[in-house]
Amino acid sequence: MPAMPAPAALPGASTDGTCRGKGAGRGKGQGKKGKGGRGDAAKGDGKAAGKGKDAELQEPRVKNAVQEAKKVMKTAADQILECRSWDALLANSSTPLALRSAVLQDITKFVDGLETARKLVEAAVSSGAADDVIREHTKALVATISDYKEAELSRFWAHWRQHMPPHPATDLHVPVGLAGDDTQYNLAGSKLVVYELCVGERTLDPIWRVAAWSLNIAFNGVYPTAGPLGDAWLKGSARAKLAGKEMPCSYALTELRGDWKYHRETFGLKRHYNANAICLFCKASKVRGPTQFTSFESFATFERFDAAGFILHSIGSYVSPIFGVQGFNPFMVKLCLMHMSNLGALQWVNAGALLGLLERGFFGDPAILTLGQRLQIVTIRFRKWCSLHGILQSQPFLTVGMLHLSSPQGPELTLKAYHGRVFVQFMASCCQALLQQRGGGDNNDEELVLLLAVCHGFASWHLRLESLPRYLDPAEAAALRISMEETLRIYRRLAARHAGTGSLRFPMRPKLHGLQEICHFMEKTLINARFNHTFRDEDAMGFTKRVGKRVHKGLLEVRTLCRLLMRFRSEEHRQ
């Protein structure tokens, strides 16, 4: 990426990027305004930061040779563990014996090289060698690690060329993805950001043009001589000094992540969840007929779009500037597994299963306890179940509002994405326990059997997905597709059962088709969908919101970006 100018130090932050809430001296002015009216030093004792040494504020701390060595040795140890896990991974796969032996032979060479280089660094550190000697051995270890990373890049692009559309990237291009989302944001009325697409999706074109320009610069791997509008850099500026020089590496855009709503608003999709034609990749529809998306068994017969068909049928006349990035292909647009399943189907399944168990008195007698009291029992049992199985959780008490019982779209249990995934396994265990209490398979409660089947189906599908590596073999991808299709058929039976009684549980929504699309692309590309979901992107969004709440409302966007850059710089110094 083009070099960004270093942001000016803001009140409460040191120039090395680390924030100090209070000075090490007696003054209290770093994080809050002191009596003197300044945020950097309190009146009467102007040595609030460090120990009064200006040098510490002017230059970032430089790591010594031992600290550098420890960081590199940790990276090497992590990669050695990763390499050694391949033996068991390949042994349990259907990889041909000859290919398995060749892969393990290459991995063994990497492990031997890493071990040898790591031991040399360790010996130099433990013997108290001079810094120059330690740095020399550390440099050799870094080179060995780089060889391993280059091999991983080569493997990524070899897989891409075999299973994905053509891309001009070389084996040394680092693949990158763009992720986007929207979020509600205000702070008790004191701050409010108005988001208005006054000219439709074209409103974002100026932003996308800069992003596309930046990504193309990063692809070429040479610092630009002018800005995105052709304006030359200021003479003597940091960017002017870098102009024309090669970057440490080059980058290639390989995926565009986000929820369905984000893709619709960003690319102006004509085919989306609120339209009759719901899918951007095929002709699935809400309309009764051969392409109705609820016909899960007929998914393979739906007509699919190639790249030209995608632009013609799904986008139409509007083409986003991001499409001009080197190597762009419409199939880089990824449907997010987290939004389709964890924040979609699992919310409906968890709500339906929980209501079914509550009605059967599994969490207390409905005639004695209120719904809120029974939900407290549910939460306590869920926490105990997680503790028993060693599963981390931070679930607050469930409330009636989390079930959205009065929603015209049907009840859904709105948990965090991670907790929704864990809760569906808990629901499967509860359904199994209730069936055993009633005599196993001898009872006539068909709905309870279906609830167990749908909860177990989603839980086992996620468990299988989480246990598989980035690159799948055809049998693994096919098994995931078949498992999801079977689970969706059970879901449809529950939906039909409740629709017959006037209940809105288990709604038939387009996200169910999205899950089939995700399975289709896993089988086509042999890449695990969990490697392009948006869990980390959602975390970044949450962090950005927290930063935005803490900055002054004047120049909110600029101040937020400056704080984010300072955070990223401080993380670099810690590494």
Taking CA atoms, 22 is separated from 34, 100, 214, 403, 501, in Å, by 11, 57, 38, 44, 63
* pLDDT at site 540: 81
Taking CA atoms, 537 is separated from 165, 177, 527, in Å, by 25, 11, 19
Q: Residue 227: helix, strand or coil by DSSP?
A: coil
Taking CA atoms, 39 is separated from 20, 42, 252, 565, in Å, by 12, 7, 42, 20
| CB contact burial 434-462 (16+ within 10 A = b; e otherwise) | bbeeeeeeeeeeeebebbbbbbbbbbebb
3-state secondary structure 267-303: HCCCCCCCCCECCCCECCECCCCCCECCCHHHHHHCC
Residue 513's nearest CA partner among 259, 218, 285, 171 is: 285
**Whether the Cβ atoms of residue 530 and residue 521 lie closer than 8 Å to each other:** no
**Whether the Cβ atoms of residue 551 and residue 563 lie closer than 8 Å to each other:** yes
CATH class of 65-163: mainly alpha
* pLDDT at site 422: 97
Q: Tokens 């004047």 sit at which residue?
A: 554
Query: What gap in Å lies between CA 383 and CA 390, rounded to an integer?
Result: 10
Residue 282's nearest CA partner among 299, 264, 259, 261 is: 299
Query: What gap in Å lies between CA 173 and CA 220, rounded to an integer?
Result: 9
Query: What gap in Å lies between CA 116 and CA 228, rounded to an integer?
Result: 47
Residue 465's nearest CA partner among 338, 297, 299 is: 338
CB atoms within 10 A of CB 140: 17
CB atoms within 10 A of CB 154: 13
* pLDDT at site 214: 95
Residue 263's nearest CA partner among 332, 215, 213 is: 332
Residues of the chain with pLDDT under 70: 1-63, 86-90, 92-100, 102-103, 106, 147-149, 184-197, 199, 440-443, 571-575
* pLDDT at site 68: 82
* pLDDT at site 478: 97
Q: Is the dihedral of CA 56, 58, 61, 65 positive or negative?
A: negative
**Whether the Cβ atoms of residue 436 and residue 455 lie closer than 8 Å to each other:** no
Say which residues have a Cβ less than 8 Å from residue 170's Cβ, sequence separation at least 6.
157, 250
* pLDDT at site 79: 73
* pLDDT at site 5: 37
Q: Report the residue count for the chain.
A: 575
Tokens at residue 227, please? 């800005």
Q: For the chain, count helices (H), then strands (E).
A: 17, 3
Q: Tokens 């503790």 sit at which residue?
A: 387
Query: What gap in Å lies between CA 457 and CA 493, rounded to an integer?
Result: 14
**Whether the Cβ atoms of residue 497 and residue 454 lie closer than 8 Å to each other:** no
Angle at 299 between CA 295 and CA 301, to 5 degrees: 115
3-state secondary structure 106-130: HHHHHHHHHHHHHHHHHHHHHCCCC
Instruction: Tell me the backbone φ, ψ of residue 454, rounded to 5 degrees.
Output: -70, -40
DSSP summary character for residue 339: I
Half-sphere exposure of residue 558: CA atoms within 13 angstroms, side-chain side = 5
DSSP summary character for residue 13: B
> Cα 285 to the chain's mean position, in Å?
29
* pLDDT at site 93: 61
Query: What gap in Å lies between CA 73 and CA 331, rounded to an integer?
Result: 39
CB atoms within 10 A of CB 285: 20
Tokens at residue 551, please? 């900055």
Angle at 265 between CA 259 and CA 268, to 5 degrees: 120
- β-pairing, 174-180 with 251-258? parallel
Stated as kind and residue range, the H or E segment containing 200 is: strand 198-201
Residues of the chain with CATH 1.20.1440: 65-163
DSSP summary character for residue 399: -
**CA gyration radius, the chain:** 28
Query: What gap in Å lies between CA 405 and CA 411, rounded to an integer?
Result: 5
Query: What gap in Å lies between CA 133 and CA 6, rounded to an integer?
Result: 33
Query: What gap in Å lies between CA 382 and CA 234, rounded to an integer?
Result: 60
* pLDDT at site 189: 46
